Amino acid sequence: MCGIVGYVGSKNAQDVLLSGLAKLEYRGYDSAGIAIYENGEVKISKTVGRLAALESMLADSPLSGKVGIGHTRWATHGKPSDENAHPHAGCASDFAVVHNGIIENYQQLKDRLMVAGHRFVSETDTEIIAHLLEEHWTGELFATVLKVLKEVRGAYALAIMTQRDPGKLVAVRKHSPLVIGLGQGENFCASDIPALLGYTRDVLIMEEGEIALITDAAVECFDLSGRPLEKKVFQVTWDAVAAEKGGFDHYMLKEIHEQPRAVRDTMSGRLSEDGKRVTLPEIKWPDGFVQTWDRIHIVAAGTSYHAGLVGKAVIESLTRIPVDVEIASEYRYRDPILTAHTLVIVISQSGETADTLAALRISKERGVRVLAITNVVGSSVAREADDVIVTWAGPEISVASTKAYTTQLIALYLLALYLGQERGRLGAEFVADFLEDMRELPKRLEEILGSSPWIERTAKDFSVWEDAFFLGRGTDYAVALEGALKYKEISYIHAEAYPAGELKHGTLALVVEGVPVIALVTVDALYEKSVSNIKEVKARGAHVLAISWAGDEEIGKSADRVLYIPRTRAELAPVLLVLPLQLLAYYASVARGNDVDKPRNLAKSVTVE
Ligand code: M6R
């Protein structure tokens, strides 16, 4: 996730771009840059670091002009660096391109362009766009961009300008957000509305596969075959603070709603062209290595640890490689048994958690290969691991982790499938079907988001209690742990997760009349046992919310309330199940008047022991 902004008008473009980027920094902040049309040339100023670094660079050497584009980056392809910062130019430096998204086929295009003599200066996927514009130049920017897009596969929001056709911006949207701002004698584009609010409240929301030609006098919108489109102007009535959260009351709710997009992005670029195999191009194990792993250690903390528990279940089931999941703060002090055939996987949203980093370092010191799953490309974990799978969730601002967890699960499913496929354990048809089901997840997540009002009412009822119990078996238990953590973290209600069959060994004593019990019931093979556990707590007076598959007509006879989630393959249930639990925690926290995004005593990134 990155932020892009563009301006054409009569104001000083540098000021407009910098103020817009300041409102988009929540989308990424590892580097920033702008391009401005100045004295007949496109001039670029960019630097690694937060926007403040760019501002001080421009304070020393300002750019002056009325047309420009800007970018604040959250690295996906290539570490945070001056070279990888946007905008990107072609060989002759007369184009400027800013991009949010992922170009899936960039490596093939880059190889071809290099053979044709193009010189690349960055490791980004974005730079290929600038070189393709040079290749396909028609004498006119808009027509050239249309030609270039025919070659490009993936997700993108783009803003493009060139000195060859000045006074124009071309903006494109495909699977990454983009809005156009309409002014008097000036027009804008941006990844999100807050960037525009200082200048206009009249916006055009670009839809999938739309392209706009923007000048100071007009904005024309087209589909990607160049057919003109009529678009309705949307009047923004939100105040600036609400707009920064995309109209949501809290970052956590916004991030919960971003999960369909984040899941799609995390799969993107990691499958074969026909979508039937996992390619994971970022894994660079030496030839034959994939066959050698005979044990996997997953090491992480908090929510990332909970993702690891689901990872264990899926890796063991798809590959039969034994997996241990360990809490990083324990692992680092316990002299783990590591051999040349052990693969260590560390999971960390921030990539800076001190305990996880220590576990990584210990493993590396012992000569073991470490694979990291992280959300932050330039983080310490990403830099020090041997191989890295980046979760393309985009920056997570709320302390309570939501979209990072979901995308960690996606990365773990892809890894499990990759291992199974490469070790010859999984048939081609099985992998293709599994991936097909994974591609459906964003749609299913959207369906569950539709139950938000029902979940809000339930959370309100539950929020008057000082305890809650989360039960599950198998992977339902792993998700119950995450549900309980989320609940206690932001609602401050004591919440415990239990393997449902374990209750009778002690915790059942805490179940009293009316206490909320959230029972997860998606493991078909253990369905009857889970129902018995529901009856067990019901007999002690608990108030049970069961979460089960749509079509389960029996569960309503045992539970007080039932939330149905759409059916998917059993292994993927955790991705869907966690969403109502995140919403339950969120609304309970709101009902209790807590500071949802910044819960007491906690920090987003725990960089000390
Ligand atoms: O950045 P990391 O994934 O390494 O962070 C690990 C935990 O601190 C984190 O998941 C924490 O448990 C969350 N705040 C839970 O919502």
314-354 pLDDT, tens per residue? 999 999 999 999 999 999 999 999 999 999 999 999 998 98
Reported as half-sphere exposure (CB side, CA atoms, 13 A), residue 583 has a value of 21
110 within some domain = yes
Nearest atom, ligand 1, residue 302 CA:
12
* Per-residue model confidence (pLDDT) at position 78: 84
Q: In whole angstroms, give the CA distance from residue 328 to residue 360.
A: 9
Question: Does 293 lie in the same domain as 156?
Answer: no
Give how many domains the chain has, as a whole number: 3
Question: Does 104 lie in the same domain as 71?
Answer: yes
* Per-residue model confidence (pLDDT) at position 609: 66
Q: In whole angstroms, give the CA distance from residue 235 to residue 181.
A: 10
Question: Does 281 lie in the same domain as 166?
Answer: no
Q: Coil, strand or helix: which one is 330?
A: helix
The residue segments making up the domain with residue 92 are 3-244
Q: What is the pLDDT of residues 210-258, one digit of tens each?
A: 999 999 999 999 999 999 999 999 887 766 666 678 789 999 999 999 9
Question: Does 275 lie in the same domain as 234?
Answer: no
Question: Does 237 lie in the same domain as 262?
Answer: no
- Please identify, among 219, 244, 269, the residue that sits at the C-terminal boundary of a domain: 244
* Per-residue model confidence (pLDDT) at position 235: 84
Strand order in the sheet with 369-374: 323-327, 295-300, 342-348, 369-374, 387-390
Q: pLDDT confidence of 365, banded at 50, 70, 90?
A: very high
* Per-residue model confidence (pLDDT) at position 241: 66
Q: Which of 251, 303, 492 to mutate to test the pocket of ligand 1 (most atoms within 8 A of CB)?
A: 303
Q: What is the pLDDT of residues 81-137, one digit of tens each?
A: 999 999 999 999 999 999 998 898 999 999 999 999 999 999 999 999 999 999 999
598 within some domain = no
Identity of residue 426: L
* Per-residue model confidence (pLDDT) at position 608: 67
Question: Does 150 lie in the same domain as 11?
Answer: yes
Peptide bond into 87 cis (omega under 30): yes
Q: In whole angstroms, give the CA distance from residue 200 to residue 127.
A: 31
Average pLDDT for residues 473-480, to the nearest whole number?
97
Q: What is the pLDDT of residues 16-63, one digit of tens each?
A: 999 999 988 877 788 999 999 999 999 999 999 989 999 999 999 999
Which is nearest to 363 in space by CA: 398, 390, 337, 392? 337
Token pair in block for residue 453: 């009002």
DSSP state of 362: H
3-class secondary structure for 202-262?
Answer: EEEECCCCEEEEECCCCEEEEECCCCEECCCCEECCCCHHHHHCCCCCCHHHHHHHCHHHH
Token pair in block for residue 511: 């179940």
438 within some domain = no
604 within some domain = no
117 within some domain = yes
Q: In whole angstroms, give the CA distance from residue 409 to residue 309.
A: 10
How many Cβ atoms are within 10 Å of 398's Cβ, its own excluded? 22
Measured in Å, residue 208 CA sits from the centre of ligand 1 at: 33
Question: Does 165 lie in the same domain as 121?
Answer: yes
| Long-range CB contacts (within 8 A, 24+) of 428-432 | 428/276, 428/277, 431/276, 431/277, 431/278, 432/275, 432/276, 432/277
Pocket of ligand 1 from Cβ distances under 6 Å: 301-304, 348-350, 353, 356, 399-401, 485, 489, 605-606
Is pLDDT above 80 for 497? yes
Q: In whole angstroms, give the CA distance from residue 485 to residue 269.
A: 32
Asked if residue 351 lies in contact with residue 376, where contact means CB atoms within 8 angstroms, the answer is yes
Q: What is the distance of C-alpha 296 from the center of its chain?
A: 25
529 within some domain = yes
Predicted TM-score (pTM) of this structure: 0.77
Question: Does 89 lie in the same domain as 201?
Answer: yes
* Per-residue model confidence (pLDDT) at position 208: 86
454 within some domain = yes
Report CA-CA distances (Å) from 479 to 271, 495, 607: 26, 13, 25
DSSP H or E stretch at residue 170 = strand 169-174
The CATH number of the domain where 227 resides is what?
Answer: 3.60.20.10
Is pLDDT above 80 for 411? yes
Q: In whole angstroms, give the CA distance from residue 486 to residue 535.
A: 25
- Please identify, among 432, 456, 490, the residue that sits at the C-terminal boundary of a domain: 432
Token pair in block for residue 123: 């490791």
> Is 443 noted as a catalytic residue in this protein?
no
Question: Does 13 lie in the same domain as 154?
Answer: yes
Question: Does 225 lie in the same domain as 302?
Answer: no
Question: Does 377 lie in the same domain as 358?
Answer: yes
> Is 604 noted as a catalytic residue in this protein?
yes
- Please identify, among 377, 405, 432, the residue that sits at the C-terminal boundary of a domain: 432
Question: Does 538 lie in the same domain as 470?
Answer: yes
Which is nearest to 64 in space by CA: 93, 98, 35, 92? 35
The CATH number of the domain where 278 resides is what?
Answer: 3.40.50.10490
Q: pLDDT confidence of 376, banded at 50, 70, 90?
A: confident
Q: What is the pLDDT of residues 157-168, one digit of tens each?
A: 999 999 999 999
355 within some domain = yes
